[in-house]
C-alpha cells in the first residue's frame, strides 16, 4: 500500500459544457516528491489539480469521466465519500484565502470539523502546525486576532498550516507563490522541500525556474494533453517532444 503511488489518474477527461479541456490524462504522481505541473496558461493545469480532490465538481456544467485513484480508491466512484477524500489533501490556492475567523480558529477549523473537541489537544495541534509552517514565532502572541490582519505571505503560510492540520498525505498547490513577494515565495518553496519527507506535493506553476529549483518531477501539459512527464532534469535537459522543447526554450508561453 505504502509503495503504490498516492495519486494515479486513468483516462481522465474533463469537459466544461462543450469545451473538452482535459484529454485522456494518464499519470502517476510519485510519492514523497515534489511534482510540478507546467504548461502555458489556459492549458488545463488548474483543472487537473482540482480533479485530484473533486473540487472540480463545484464548477457549473462540468463533466468528468475516467478515474482518479487516491490511495487505491477511485474517488469518482459514485459510492466514494468526498469529505474523507478531501481530508487526505491540503490545498494552497493562487491567493491565500484565510477563513473569516481568528488565526487560531483557522488552524483548529479542520480538526474541529473532523470531531476534535478537546481544548488542550486543539491548542497542541494549532501550535504544532503553525511551527510546521514556520509561522508560530510571528503569531504566537496574537492567535485570537483575525487571520485577515496577517500579511499576504503570512496568510499563505497560515493556509499551509491549516491544510496540514487535517493530517493529509498530499499537498496540492495552484501557483501558490504567484501572489507573494519574492521572499515569501522562497519561504514557501523552502517549506515544500522540507515537507516532501512526509508528504507528496503536487503544484502548478507557470514559472519554469521555480519548477527547476524545487520540483523532482515534471508534468508538461499543452492544450489539455500531457505532452511529456518525467524527472525534472530529464525533461529540462533532454525534452523528447518538440512542444516541450519549444516551451522550455520559451517559444510557447
Ligand X SMILES: Nc1ncnc2c1ncn2[C@@H]1O[C@H](COP(=O)(O)OP(=O)(O)O)[C@@H](O)[C@H]1O
Question: How remote is the C-alpha of 121 from its chain's centroid?
Answer: 27
Which of Mg ion, ligand X, another protein, none does residue 21 bind (CB under 5 to 8 Å by kind)?
Answer: ligand X
Does position 46 interact with Mg ion (CB under 5 A)? The reply is: yes
CA trace torsion 156, 211, 191, 119 (10° rounding): 50
89 binds, among another protein, ligand X, Mg ion, none (CB under 5 to 8 A by kind): another protein
| CA–CA gap between residue 240 and residue 243 (Å, rounded) | 9
| Angle, alpha carbons 90-94-97 (nearest 5°) | 70
Shortest spacing between CB 2 and another protein, in angstroms = 22
Place of cell 529549483: 213
Number of CB atoms found within 10 A of residue 42's CB: 11
Instruction: List the interface residues with Mg ion, window 99-138 (CB under 5 A).
Output: none
**CA 156 to CA 178: how far, in whole Å?**
11
Q: Is 64 in the site for another protein (CB under 8 A)?
A: no
Selected from 19, 65, 100, 181, the binder of another protein by CB under 8 A is: 100
Q: How far is the CB of 32 from another protein (least distance, A)?
A: 21
Q: Which of 30, 71, 146, 231 binds another protein (CB under 8 A)?
A: 146
Question: Residue holding cell 494533453?
Answer: 225
- Residues forming contacts to another protein in the complex (CB under 8 A) are 53, 55, 58, 60, 83-84, 86-87, 89-91, 93-101, 109-110, 113-114, 145-149, 155, 159, 162-163, 166, 172
Amino acid at each position: 500500500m505504502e509503495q503504490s503511488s498516492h495519486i494515479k489518474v486513468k483516462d481522465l477527461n474533463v469537459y466544461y459544457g462543450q469545451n473538452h479541456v482535459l484529454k485522456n490524462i494518464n499519470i502517476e504522481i510519485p510519492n514523497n516528491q515534489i511534482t510540478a505541473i507546467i504548461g502555458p496558461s489556459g492549458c488545463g493545469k488548474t483543472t487537473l489539480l482540482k480533479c485530484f480532490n473533486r473540487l472540480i465538481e463545484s464548477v457549473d456544467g462540468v463533466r468528468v469521466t475516467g478515474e482518479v485513484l487516491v490511495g487505491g480508491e477511485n474517488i469518482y466512484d459514485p459510492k466514494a465519500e468526498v469529505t474523507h477524500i478531501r481530508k487526505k489533501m491540503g490545498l494552497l490556492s493562487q491567493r491565500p484565502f484565510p477563513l473569516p475567523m481568528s488565526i487560531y480558529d483557522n488552524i483548529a477549523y479542520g480538526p474541529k470539523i473532523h470531531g476534535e473537541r478537546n481544548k488542550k489537544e486543539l491548542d497542541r495541534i494549532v501550535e504544532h502546525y503553525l511551527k510546521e509552517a514556520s509561522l508560530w514565532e510571528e503569531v504566537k502572541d496574537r492567535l485570537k486576532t483575525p487571520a485577515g490582519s496577517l500579511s499576504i505571505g503570512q496568510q499563505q503560510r497560515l493556509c499551509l498550516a491549516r491544510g496540514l492540520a487535517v493530517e493529509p498525505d498530499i499537498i496540492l498547490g495552484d501557483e501558490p507563490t504567484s501572489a507573494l513577494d519574492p521572499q515569501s515565495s522562497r519561504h514557501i518553496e523552502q517549506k515544500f522541500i522540507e515537507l516532501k519527507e512526509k508528504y507528496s506535493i503536487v503544484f502548478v506553476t507557470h514559472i519554469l525556474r521555480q519548477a527547476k529549483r524545487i520540483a523532482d518531477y515534471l508534468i508538461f501539459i499543452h492544450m489539455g494533453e500531457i505532452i511529456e512527464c518525467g524527472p525534472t532534469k530529464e525533461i529540462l535537459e533532454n525534452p523528447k517532444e518538440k512542444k516541450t522543447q519549444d516551451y522550455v526554450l520559451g517559444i510557447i508561453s
